[in-house]
Amino acid sequence: VTLDVEALRADTPGCRLVTHLNNAGASLPPRQVTETVIAHLRREAETGGYEAAAEAEADGRLGAVYTSIARLIRAEPADVAVLDNATRGWQSVAYGVSLRPGDRILTDRAQYSSSVLDLLRLADRHGATVEIVEDDEHGQVDLTDLRRRLDRGGVALVSLTHVPTHGGLVNPAADVGAMTRAAGVPLLLDACQSAGQLDLDVERLQCDALAATGRKYLRGPRGTGFLWVHPQLRRRLEPPWPDLRGGDWTGPRSFELRDDARVFETWERNVAAVLGLGVAVDYAMTVGVSGIEDRVRGLAAELRTLLTDVPGVRVHDTGRERCGIVGFEVAGVPATEVRDALRARRINTSVSDATGSWWALADRGVPDLVRASVHAYTTEDELLTLRDALPPARVG
Ligand SMILES: Cc1ncc(COP(=O)(O)O)c(C=O)c1O
For residue 194, report the distance from its CA to the centre of ligand 1, in Å.
10
For residue 219, report the distance from its CA to the centre of ligand 1, in Å.
14
Q: How far apart are CA 28 and CA 356, in angstroms?
A: 24
- Within 8 A by CB and 6+ apart from 59, the residues are none
Total length of the chain: 396
* 3-state SS string for 308-329: HCCCCEEECCCCCCECCEEEEE
Asked whether the beta carbons of 271 and 53 are under 8 A apart, the reply is yes
Say if ligand 1 is within 6 A of residue 87 CB.
yes
Say if ligand 1 is within 6 A of residue 89 CB.
no
Q: How far apart are CA 177 and CA 167, in angstroms?
A: 22
β partners of residue 333: 330
pLDDT level of residue 2 (50, 70, 90 thresholds): confident
Q: How far apart are CA 2 and CA 65, in angstroms?
A: 27
Atom of ligand 1 nearest to the CA of 88: 11
pLDDT level of residue 394 (50, 70, 90 thresholds): very high
pLDDT of 335-359, one tens digit each? 999 999 999 999 999 999 999 999 9
Say if ligand 1 is within 6 A of residue 197 CB.
no
Say if ligand 1 is within 6 A of residue 167 CB.
no
Q: How far apart are CA 372 and CA 366, in angstroms?
A: 17
pLDDT of 258-297, one tens digit each? 999 999 999 999 999 999 999 999 999 999 999 999 999 9
List b or e across 254-281, with b for residues whose CB sees 16 or more CB atoms inside 10 angstroms: eeeebebbbbbbbeebbbbbbbbbbbbb
Say if ligand 1 is within 6 A of residue 190 CB.
yes
State the pLDDT at residue 395: 83
Atom of ligand 1 nearest to the CA of 84: 10
> Atom 5 in ligand 1: which residue has the minimum CA distance?
192
| Average pLDDT, integer, range 190-218 | 98
Q: How far apart are CA 314 and CA 333, in angstroms?
A: 12
pLDDT of 80-107, one tens digit each? 999 999 999 999 999 999 999 999 999 9
Confirm whether pTM is higher than 0.95: yes
For residue 19, report the distance from its CA to the centre of ligand 1, in Å.
22
For residue 192, report the distance from its CA to the centre of ligand 1, in Å.
5
Say if ligand 1 is within 6 A of residue 84 CB.
no
Nearest to 328 by CA among 386, 246, 257: 386
For residue 382, report the distance from its CA to the centre of ligand 1, in Å.
25
